[in-house]
Amino acid sequence: MTFAGKRVFVTGAATGIGRATADYLVAEGAKVLGAGLDGDDGKALASRYGESRLIFRESDLTREADVQAAVVAAQERFGGLDAVVNCAGIYPTGKRLEELSDEDWDRTIAVNLTAIFRVCRATLPLLRATGGGSIVNIASVHADATVPGVPAYAATKAAVVGLSRQMALDYAVDRIRVNAVLVGSVATRMTLDGLEAAGGAEALGLSFEPNRIARIANPSEIATAIGFLISDAASFVTGSAMQVDGGLLARLL
């Protein structure tokens, strides 16, 4: 797949899956506008490539003003957008529903769901002006099957799938495809911190061994799947919830 000439907005681009996606797309010829927290990592990423290939804007995407500023930058620097990848997210663990404060609940909804709504709302006009495009929203296996202690996270990831499916219908008329990715366990700080808290990978039935189904993925393996959904090779793929989970959801025990 080549992404030459494609202009892609990637949220959560400074770290983890977002960063791997930015690296992959730039390596294959895309221009990337990265937005998110973790500004030092974002700046390091930008300086590696130079502004003609990757721009990073430190942005709290729960703030409408930050979303707007990042999208204005995409318009000014790239002259528009061809694709959007919503990767930014948080994974608060260890509390059952009764233990969640309003603030806990609202924060998870704000980052994992409302920020996607805001980014899509702000970028859809740019994709439409391009004549069409692709939006990829990063959900999780937690949309379908989950673990104890993550009520808000599981709710947001199921909602991301529903939102993506619905948007696919409303925006087909604009030639904008919208897909969700049900990501399994990936070796980023989000999972590695969570695994430590849960007592290690084996306690969750996961393995780091490279030849096992339901092993832990390298972030680059999610990036290539995202790349497929962005690419013209996926021209008939919209409204899907694509599992990229090493067979995790296929496991009974």
Ligand X SMILES: NC(=O)c1ccc[n+]([C@@H]2O[C@H](COP(=O)([O-])OP(=O)(O)OC[C@H]3O[C@@H](n4cnc5c(N)ncnc54)[C@H](O)[C@@H]3O)[C@@H](O)[C@H]2O)c1
Chain residues in the site for ligand X (CB under 6 A): 11-12, 14-18, 36-38, 59-62, 87-91, 111, 138, 140, 183, 185-186, 188-191
Taking the least distance from each CB to ligand X, the nearer of 60 and 221 is 60
- DSSP bridge partners of 34: 10, 56
Eight-class DSSP state of 112:
I
Cβ 12 to ligand X shortest distance, Å: 3
Q: Which two tokens stand for residue 149?
A: 């202690």
| Minimum CB distance to ligand X smaller for 12 or for 130 | 12
For ligand X, give the closer residue by CB, 127 or 160.
160
How far apart CA 83 and CA 138 sit, in angstroms, is 14
Q: Quick check: 139 and 180 in contact, CB under 8 A?
A: yes
Closest contact distance (angstroms) between CB of 6 and ligand X is: 21
Instruction: Write down the least CB distance from residue 121 to ligand X, Å.
Output: 15
Judge residue 196's burial from the number of C-beta atoms within 10 Å of its C-beta, 0-12 exposed, 13-18 middle, 19 or more buried. Answer: exposed
Residue 4 Cβ vs ligand X, minimum distance, rounded to whole Å: 26
**Is 91 in the active site?**
no
The least CB distance from residue 194 to ligand X, in Å, is 8
Please state whether beta strands 31-36 and 176-183 pair in parallel, antiparallel, or not at all (unpaired): unpaired
Considering beta carbons, is residue 91 or 171 the nearer one to ligand X?
A: 91
25 neighbors 34 (Cβ within 8 angstroms):
no
Residue 226 C-beta: closest distance to ligand X, Å: 10
Eight-state DSSP code of residue 111: I
Among 11, 22, 5, 13, CA closest to 84: 11
- Among residues 76, 174, 179, the alpha carbon closest in space to that of 128 is found at 174
Q: Which is nearer to ligand X, 32 or 130 (CB)?
A: 32
* Catalytic residue, candidates 24, 49, 91, 153: 153
Helix, strand, or coil here: 176?
A: strand
> Which among 217, 17, 214, 195 is positioned nearest to 94, based on CA atoms?
195
Nearer to ligand X, 3 or 153 (CB): 153
Cβ atoms within 10 Å of 5's Cβ, excluding its own: 9
Return the active site residues: 153
